[in-house]
Structure 1
Amino acid sequence: MAQPAAPSGAPAPHRDPRGGGSAWASGGTVFAGVLLFVDGVLAVLNGVVGIAKDNVYARIGDYTYKFNLTAWGWIHLVIGALLILTGIGILKGAPWARGVGVGMAALSVIANFMWLPYQPIWAVIAIAIGVFVIWALLTDRSRPAL
């Protein structure tokens, strides 16, 4: 599909010169890969600490979703490792990585929502990162659809 041209013949502003979606979304996909990788590394570190020491994290108030910290440690460790692999896949342009990235970001958002009583500020930040990653991966039109 042809892009609308500006009067000078240059591509319209904020459009990806390769065709398709916006340059924001295309650049956002690379940033989403980096964010998934970094979020995965931090989740692995959270997991290791949760497994090694049960007294590092303190729960704030009572919450419906209760797991012991060792279980949370393993959950974060596994999700973190998968986020790292998915982030690497997105950065390498693997065809499977966008779909898996959306799923892993959604899983990360859910896990961080349930993790709120242990680290409320970081959990909210991680939820926002997950939402951005989902948006970036779903709006990039420069690559084939999921």
Structure 2
Amino acid sequence: MTHTSESKQNPVRRGIAAGTSIAAAVLLLTVGILSIFEGISAVAEDDLYLVGAEYIYKFDTTTWGWIHIVLGIFLVVAALGLLTGAMWARIIAICVAALSILGNFMWLPYYPAWSILVIALDVVVIWAIAAWRPETI
């Protein structure tokens, strides 16, 4: 038995890989839901968020709200695809999580604590999806 055939038969490695993928999908689902809530709060109550006049990425908060809602929907769809183990979902999840990082970076002046939380979760999601190697199972 070679080393690669032993690793393919190892149930512990299969369990770790499955756990990593499920954890990444759940985190991505969490980030998507948080983004949707963030967008809804920006669309529903424009006076909730304040920003200084010197902000470069200045959009109306309603516009930012819709950006976060759309990103959140894409994140949720990618998470549901990731739960099924689809390869397309891994690629889409990494791309959409990266877009979410960019969007939340530009959203920092409006709500810094929330943005930092979502950015941190996106980084963990990207790491978990990129580190998972289903072909080594």
Asked whether the two chains share a fold, i.e. TM above 0.5, the reply is yes
* Structure 2 unmatched ranges of 5 or more: none
Q: Deviations over 1:30-71 (max 9, x none)?
A: 111111111111111111121122101122673221111011
Contact kept, 8 Å, 2:31 with 2:118, in 1: the verdict is yes
Q: How many aligned residue pairs are there?
A: 131
Contact kept, 8 Å, 1:29 with 1:133, in 2: the verdict is no
Contact kept, 8 Å, 1:26 with 1:141, in 2: the verdict is no
What secondary structure does 2:51 align onto? coil
* Structure 1 unmatched ranges of 5 or more: 5-10
CA distance in 1, matches of 2:114, 2:40: 16
Contact kept, 8 Å, 1:16 with 1:26, in 2: the verdict is no
Contact kept, 8 Å, 2:34 with 2:118, in 1: the verdict is no
TM-score (norm 1): 0.79
CA distance in 2, matches of 1:61, 1:38: 32
Structure 1 stretches of at least 4 aligned residues deviating more than 3 Å after TM superposition: none
Match of 1:17 in 2: 13
Match of 1:107 in 2: 99
CA distance in 2, matches of 1:139, 1:102: 11
Match of 1:64 in 2: 56
Q: Over the residues paired in the alignment, what is the CA RMSD in angstroms?
A: 2.3
CA distance in 2, matches of 1:143, 1:121: 38
CA distance in 1, matches of 2:12, 2:110: 41
The correspondence for 1:38, drawn from 30, 34, 53, is 30
Taking every aligned residue pair, what percent have the same amino acid on both sides? 41
Q: Deviations over 1:86-131 (max 9, x none)?
A: 1111112122100000001100111111110111111111111111
Match of 2:73 in 1: 81
Q: Does 1:97 align with 2:94?
A: no
Residue 28 and residue 63 in structure 1: after superposition, are their counterparts in 2 closer, same or farther (change >3 A)? farther
TM-score (norm 2): 0.84
> Which of structures 1 and 2 has the larger relative contact order (alpha carbons within 8 angstroms, sep 6+)?
2
